[in-house]
Structure 1
Amino acid sequence: MIIGVLNQKGGVGKTTLSVNIAAFLAQEGSRVLLIDADPQGSCLDWAATRKDEPLFSVVGLPRASIHKELGQIGAGYDHIIIDGPPRVTDLARSAIMASDLVLIPVQPSPYDIWAADEVVQLIQEAIVYKSDMKCAFVVNRKIANTAIGRDVREALAAFPVPILEATVTQRVIYAEAAALGKAVFEIDAAGPAASEVSALVAELMEFTK
């Protein structure tokens, strides 16, 4: 399966989700490729920081030809995660066209909700050519026990895109793990962050059946 993690707004946690989804799938025994399609190269930086053996392969491909090159680059992998660019560009369109599922992370902020409209429009354009492609919102960096954390689902319901039940809470461990080039389950396998990622991956796998 090819999962594109995209939102035209920067700072929504695309790279954090991409790395941890890829790591969890790899931990379960899958052969995983993470494609860094963001010109900033954050996934490549994460991989370069890591001191331990790699959990999965990471390649940089910030080109608007991802959907054409993926057949060759992705050969032999069970799952491919694409960390998309933070702007609506030909590169974003190519990442969407390459994906079986587009995951749209949205923070519980009015700005993020307003910005979601552009990536939804891109996906709708792509579905014309790739009718079996799926997409879903995931609430990321949710702040526990706040009204805006609860209200974001109501705001997203206005879009013609499903909202995953699994959410990811804002936690320091995500930044701590990233600084070490690790996934959250490598820092605290039994902690709430690892449980959140596990639930998200399980729902993604079920969603694409």
Structure 2
Amino acid sequence: MIIGLLNQKGGVGKTTLAVNLAAELAGTGARVLLLDADPQGSSLDWAAAREGEPLFSVVGLPRATIHKEIGALGRDYDHIIIDGPPRVTDLARSAIMASDMVLIPVQPSPYDVWAAAEVVKLIEEAGVYKDNLKAAFVVNRKIANTAIGRDVGEALAGYPLPTLEASITQRVIFAEAAARGQAVRELDPRGPAAKEVAAVATELLEQNP
């Protein structure tokens, strides 16, 4: 499965979710490739901060030819996670066309909900050429026990895409793990953050058997 994480608004936690999803899938014994298509190279920075054996492969490919090169790059992998660019560009279009599933991380903020319109438009355009393309929102960096955290799902209902049942809560452990080039499942395997990431991964696998 090829999962592309995209949102034209920066700061939504796209890279954090990408590396932790990759780690979760790798933890099942799957061969996983994390493709860093963001010119900022945040996933590559995460990999560089890591000491010890890598959990999965990380490759930088911030070019608008991902959909043409993904076949050769992904030949030896069970899953590919694409950490997409933060802007609507030809690079973003290529990442979408390369994906089986596009996951759109959205923070519980009106600005994030409004900004999602651009990515939804790109997905609809790509669907003309790739009719089996799937897409969904995932609520990320949710603030626990707040009204806005609960209401974001209703706000996203205005778009023609589903929202995953699983969501990710804002937790300090995500930043702590990132600083070490680790995943939350390594720092606290049975903690709430690791369980939330696992729930997102499980839901994605169920939707894309």
Describe the SS at the equivalent of 1:145. Answer: coil
In 1, Cα distance between equivalents of 2:138 and 2:91: 22
In 1, Cα distance between equivalents of 2:109 and 2:62: 28
**Structure-2 residue corresponding to 1:204:** 204
Describe the SS at the equivalent of 1:62. Answer: coil
The percentage of aligned residue pairs carrying the same residue is: 76
1:115-194 mapped onto 2 (5 Å cutoff): 115-194=115-194
Residues 72-104 of structure 1 deviation map (CA, whole Å, 9 limit, x = unaligned): 111110000000000000000000000000000
Residue segments in structure 2 that go unaligned for 5+ positions in a row: none
What is the CA-CA distance between 1:156 and the residue it aligns to? 0.1
What is the CA-CA distance between 1:6 and the residue it aligns to? 0.3
In 1, Cα distance between equivalents of 2:108 and 2:133: 25
Aligned partner of 1:99: which letter? S
Corresponding pairs, count? 209
Describe the SS at the equivalent of 1:128. Answer: helix
What is the CA-CA distance between 1:208 and the residue it aligns to? 1.4
In 2, Cα distance between equivalents of 1:79 and 1:125: 24
**Structure-1 residue corresponding to 2:59:** 59
Describe the SS at the equivalent of 1:108. Answer: coil
Query: Aligned Cα RMSD in Å?
Result: 0.5
Residues 163-198 of structure 1 deviation map (CA, whole Å, 9 limit, x = unaligned): 000000000000000000000010001100000011
Residues 9-51 of structure 1 deviation map (CA, whole Å, 9 limit, x = unaligned): 0000110010000001111100000000000000000000000
Residues 107-135 of structure 1 deviation map (CA, whole Å, 9 limit, x = unaligned): 00000000000000000000000000100
Describe the SS at the equivalent of 1:75. Answer: coil
In 1, Cα distance between equivalents of 2:11 and 2:207: 25
**Structure-1 residue corresponding to 2:38:** 38
In 2, Cα distance between equivalents of 1:185 and 1:32: 16
**Structure-2 residue corresponding to 1:91:** 91
Aligned partner of 1:16: which letter? T
Find out whether 1:105 has 2:114 as its counterpart.
no
Aligned partner of 1:23: which letter? A
Aligned partner of 2:21: which letter? I
In 1, Cα distance between equivalents of 2:79 and 2:153: 28
In 1, Cα distance between equivalents of 2:87 and 2:73: 24
In 2, Cα distance between equivalents of 1:47 and 1:55: 9
After TM superposition, the score normalised by the length of structure 1 is 0.99
